[in-house]
Amino acid sequence: MSDADFIKLNKANWDEAAKVHFEDPADWYQIGRFLEGHDVRCLIDQQEMGDLSGLKVLHAQCHFGLDTLSVARQAKEVVGLDFSPVALAQAAELAQRTGLSDKARWVESNIYEARAVLDETFDFVYASWGVTGWLPDLAAWAKIIASYIKPGGRFYYAEGHPCAFILDEIDGHLRPSTPYWHRDPIVETADHSYNESSVQLENREVHCWNHPLSEFMTAFLSEGLVLEFFHEHTAVPWRMFPSMTMGDDRLYRFGPEGPNMALGMSMMWSKPA
């Protein structure tokens, strides 16, 4: 199978998952809180992205735009980019319901083909949590991301840690299940989505890639970007392993007897003026 075939299969899963997430009775994504006026981005993102007032922002791989619209409440303008038409229709609905349609635009595209439909630059670009595991070519992704950053602009990225992604929890213990340097797609089958909904998915097979940390650094340094910070986190915004629990901050972490390890990472890059 080609990379295009893998992406097509993943898109079918995400189209279905978008509907499950949007209609979730438990409201794992906090749509209700967003409609009440709250910023529902992950707390890590809120703390690290900084003040976006007056900025033109691109949210790459934005899903159904909940975080995008949280940003739109403070930014001058925001564009949400995603390959799922189902998710983007939901995003447009949320924008209309909250009076943000004049500040938010939606662009449907596979990230690798985005330049053909979105030919602009931005003050601030970001992508976070569950982004690059779906991408076969990290260097090509970084090149496209970098092309959207204005000189003097910045890029924020947050994701699960590559060292954590190679582990599975078996009988309460973490064990390696995938080599750290693994180039081939990892085929996974999941009956349910990560929002812990009871709805069973029809498109259960997905293809993922684990990119080592050195690949991230090399990809962005090769595009001439400057690293402002790199942080590692012991908590992430979804249940990465079964024994993790969610705290009052809506981040999942191990208990005091669990492993003390990096589960997530975040970084800020800037493009020289």
φ/ψ (deg, to 5) at 170: -125, 120
> How far apart, in whole angstroms, are the C-alpha atoms of residue 64 and residue 167?
29
Mean pLDDT value across residues 123-147:
96
CATH number at residue 231: 3.40.50.150
> How far apart, in whole angstroms, are the C-alpha atoms of residue 78 and residue 13?
26
Mean pLDDT value across residues 154-160:
98
According to the model, what pLDDT value does residue 26 have?
81
According to the model, what pLDDT value does residue 201 have?
64
CA–CA distance from 43 to each of 48, 143, 233 (Å)?
Answer: 9, 28, 12
Q: Which of 76, 89, 82, 97 is nearest to 32 (CA)?
A: 97
Buried/exposed 185-206: b ≥16 CB within 10 Å, e otherwise: beeeeeeebebebebebeeeeb
Task: Using the predicted structure, report yes or no on whether residue 203 has a pLDDT greater than 70.
Answer: no
Tens digits of residue pLDDT in 61-118: 999 999 999 999 999 999 999 999 999 999 999 999 999 999 999 999 999 999 999 9
Q: What is the pTM of this model?
A: 0.94
Number of neighbouring beta carbons within 10 Å of residue 239: 14
Q: What is the DSSP letter of 236?
A: B
According to the model, what pLDDT value does residue 196 have?
62
Number of neighbouring beta carbons within 10 Å of residue 144: 16
Query: Are the C-beta atoms of 249 and 236 separated by less than 8 Å?
Result: no
Tens digits of residue pLDDT in 7-31: 777 777 877 877 877 787 888 789 9
What is the tally of structural domains in the chain? 1
Token pair 């303008």: residue = 77
Domain containing residue 14: 3-270
Six token digits for residue 2 = 């080609």
Number of neighbouring beta carbons within 10 Å of residue 157: 22
- Number of H-type helices and E-type strands within the chain: 8, 13
